[in-house]
Amino acid sequence: MVSLARREFLTGNEAMAEAAIAAGLRVFIGYPITPASDLFEYLAEKLPGHGGIVFQAEDEIAAINALVGATYAGAKAMTATSGPGFSLMAESLGLAAMLEAPIVIVYNMRTGPSTGIATGTGQGDVMQSRWASHGHYGVVVYSPWSVQEAYNLVLKAFDTAWRLRVPTIVLSDAVIAHTRELAVVYEPGEVKIADRKPPREPPGEFKPFKPDPDDLVPPMAFYGEGYAVLAESLAHDERGYYTTDPGNYERLVKRLEEKIHRNKQYVVSSESRYTEDAETVIVSFGTLARSALALVKDLRKQGKKVGLWRPVSIWPLDEEGLLKAVEHADRVIVAEMNLGQLYREVARILGPTGKRVELVPVLTPELPGPDELLGYFEKAGVEI
Amino acid sequence: MTLQVQKLAPSHRVDDLLRTERLPHVWCPGCGIGIALQAFLRAVKDLEAKGVIDRKQLVFVTGIGCTGRASGYVRLDGAHTPHGRPIAYAYGVKLANPRLVPVVFSGDGDLAGIGGNHLLHAARRNFDMLVIMVNNFNYALTGGQLAPTTPHGAYSTTTPRGNPERPMDVARLVAALGANYVARWSIHYPVHIEESIKKALPRRGFRFIEVLSICPEIFGRHIGFRSPVDLYERLRKVARVKKPKRLEDIVYDWEKEITLGVFVDKDEPGYMESICSIYNYEWCNELPERRWGAK
């Protein structure tokens, strides 16, 4: 088969929209918000031509609930938002996790908190992307640093969401959203995305929340197939029936998180640059990692043994990848556009190694270049 | 003597639409929700027997509250969603598979209080779904707090000196927003409720049926009508069946009159047909509302 892959000069938002179409998106439900509206507008123009529906909800609360309903009715479904919209989605992000609904959320971070600087970029939502909803549950979060990677990670997000029946988030930012770069994109049908595991028992015997023992993921019956599936937001047993039984509750909540770790090989990924001999490793993610890489290259020219470790999956992190990248280093410096969120995770993982973990907070609505980034090292009193 | 439950409870005509293994239900003695639910289940049985609908295409969606618990007992595809969100969930079901017919069955607090924004916009869009709102005048599952439908002056646990607010006439509001079908009944009229559902279920667009219910255990006890019969009679005194000609003729006043009847009965294209007038989707000729409505 001749591949129809083509090179396109796209913004991150356009690329993520193209990726969703290639992944088989059937329903996009959005609410306008900077810097995600143009992804919505792009799909409004294009998705109907591929047989899909674009719907503007009355708010983000409606959007995420509708997404969950859409996946139970059998559709690949996605939304795109930013911090304030994601805050509203927090309520039913927990619903999606509880119902094991394979929804995909493109989350373009902007400058917060509150309305913040709507047109600026940011990385303040690392924790919000993981812990926004009440109770303990699992989600998967990927973070791209380029238009191409944004495209690839939206494909990956659909695959993860449907393979694990878990809400999956692409944590991008305002810079990627509106930066135009060359990207290789595919046609629908050219990419392989995981599908649901269909029910193996007939209606009456099928239990919608009974996990397979190997991957802990329950097969999924869609509405309209005659299974009388009850999507129960209350704590439920394998039939989907509400129960306050403590043993059942413990099994359910543990499994919602454990199924991600059990299938870690599909989920986690990271990139190491110049870490083989690095005495100092800078940890950075998303677009800031591009400036960090440029800084690492500058420092290398000065003979300093500096490397970069960049997580691609943020939740969960590639812990083995991080430990390997810092093997020869005695210092690890986390540079991120907040006052220390990824830093906490890195410090937790490296705690037992005794390595020094330092933080360089980069608080600005604009992506700093390598020289400016170095200025933030100085401001934080972190020598390099 | 042993109690032989099986013999005391012979099978009922709607049993096959119920997850009978989950009974007994949570609703209090004297509660009116069962009357509304049974009217819906009887309507489904009847429409199915006439070959008008296929139960496999129904998706029964509820929110949080006493009425919201109904999805746990109904043997249809369904969802028990977070507080206020069943209409939002139902959007996604319909958009993802237009061959399905969402039925939202929930309470006044869930649909008109916390979920009010979804109700407004679903009605404005004439979005294809049937919404049955059971109005028990208060937040009963949580112990009797103020609802948007609680009568002015009434005691609730969060307005212990009487409700200073004016209540919302939800049916009149939905009628004003242009829904295809709007009716209000009370549990004194189970046959009328069933007939309304039979009319509205196969129809396109947004269909809204409010059912005034009695909650003697919480609302009744708080306002001095602890006995189901007393509250039943008190509600009957103000519930008046009429044929209002104008929106202004629809009244929601606990002291004087709560108007019952069919307020809107029209057949304009719903949201799904509306998008089919712009885009030619492969499902456009298979919308159940078109085929069911024609029978």
H-only helix segments in A200-286: 246-262, 264-267
Task: Tell me whether residues A230 and B80 touch, CB distance under 8 A.
Answer: yes
- Domain parsing of chain B, residue ranges: 32-138+154-294
Please state the rounded mean pLDDT for residues B166-192. 98
Candidate from B81, B92, B278 with C-beta closest to A27: B92
Listed residue (B114, B102, B193) closest to B147, CA to CA: B114
pTM, two decimals, is: 0.97
Q: What is the DSSP letter of A73?
A: T
Residue-wise over B5-37: b if at least 16 C-beta within 10 A, else e? eeeeeeeeebeebbbeebeebebeebbbbebbb
Return d(Cα A30, Cα A37) in angstroms, integer. 8
Question: Cα–Cα distance between B286 and B292 in angstroms, integer?
Answer: 10
| Res. A4: pLDDT tops 80 | no
Split at pLDDT 50, 70, 90, the class of B1 is: low
Q: What is the mean pLDDT of chain A?
A: 97
Farthest CA pair distance, chain A: 70
The span from the CA of A20 to the CA of A54, in Å, is: 12
Residues A57-114: tens digit of each pLDDT: 999 999 999 999 999 999 999 999 999 999 999 999 999 999 999 999 999 999 999 9
Residue A79 CB-half CA count within 13 A: 31
**What pLDDT score was predicted for residue A129?**
98
- Vertex A320 angle, CA A314 and A323, to 5°: 100
- Contact at CB, A233 and B117, closer than 8 angstroms: no
Quote the pLDDT of residue B291. Answer: 76
Tokens (6 digits) for B242: 């009429």
Q: Select the residue from A65, A105, A133, A220 to test the B interface by mutation, using most B Cβ atoms within 10 A.
A: A65
Mean pLDDT for the stretch of residues B9-16? 84
- pLDDT tens, position by position, A193-212: 999 999 999 999 999 999 99
| Residue A2 pLDDT level (bands cut at 50, 70, 90) | low
Residue ranges covered by each domain of chain A? 1-267, 269-379
pLDDT in tens, A321-337: 999 999 999 999 999 99
Domains A1-267 and A269-379 share a fold: yes
pLDDT at A1: 54
- Render pLDDT for B201-253 as a digit per residue (tens, 0 to 9): 999 999 999 999 999 999 999 999 999 999 999 999 999 999 999 999 999 99
Q: In Å, how far are B74, B146, B153, B156, B220 from B161, measured between CA atoms?
A: 39, 12, 8, 8, 16
CB A20 within 8 A of CB A104: yes
CB pairs under 8 A between A and B: 140
The CATH superfamily label for domain A1-267 reads Thiamin diphosphate (ThDP)-binding fold, Pyr/PP domains (3.40.50.970)
Residue partners of B85: CB distance under 8 A and separation at least 6 = A61, A62, A65, A91, A92, A95, B63, B115, B118
CA B224 – CA B151 distance, rounded (Å): 14
Mean pLDDT over B69-82 rounds to 98
Q: Which CATH number fits domain B32-138+154-294: 3.40.50.800, 3.40.50.720, 3.40.50.300, 3.40.50.970?
A: 3.40.50.970
We find that the CATH architecture of domain A269-379 is: 3-Layer(aba) Sandwich (3.40)
Of B79, B117, B275, the CB nearest to A69: B79
Nearest to B95 among A55, A223, A230 (CB): A55
Q: Does B71 touch chain A (CB under 8 A)?
A: yes
Per-residue pLDDT at B5:
55
Distance CA B192, CA A295 (A): 75
Rounded Cα distance between B156 and A364, Å, is 50
Task: Give the DSSP H/E element, type plus range, for residue A168.
Answer: strand A168-173
Question: What is the residue whose two structure tokens read 């009010």?
Answer: B116
* pLDDT tens-digit readout, A255-299: 999 999 999 999 999 999 999 999 999 999 999 999 999 999 999
Residue B294 has pLDDT above 80, yes or no: no
Band (A120; pLDDT cuts 50, 70, 90): very high
pLDDT above 90: percentage of residues in chain A:
98
pLDDT category at B10 given cuts 50, 70, 90 is low
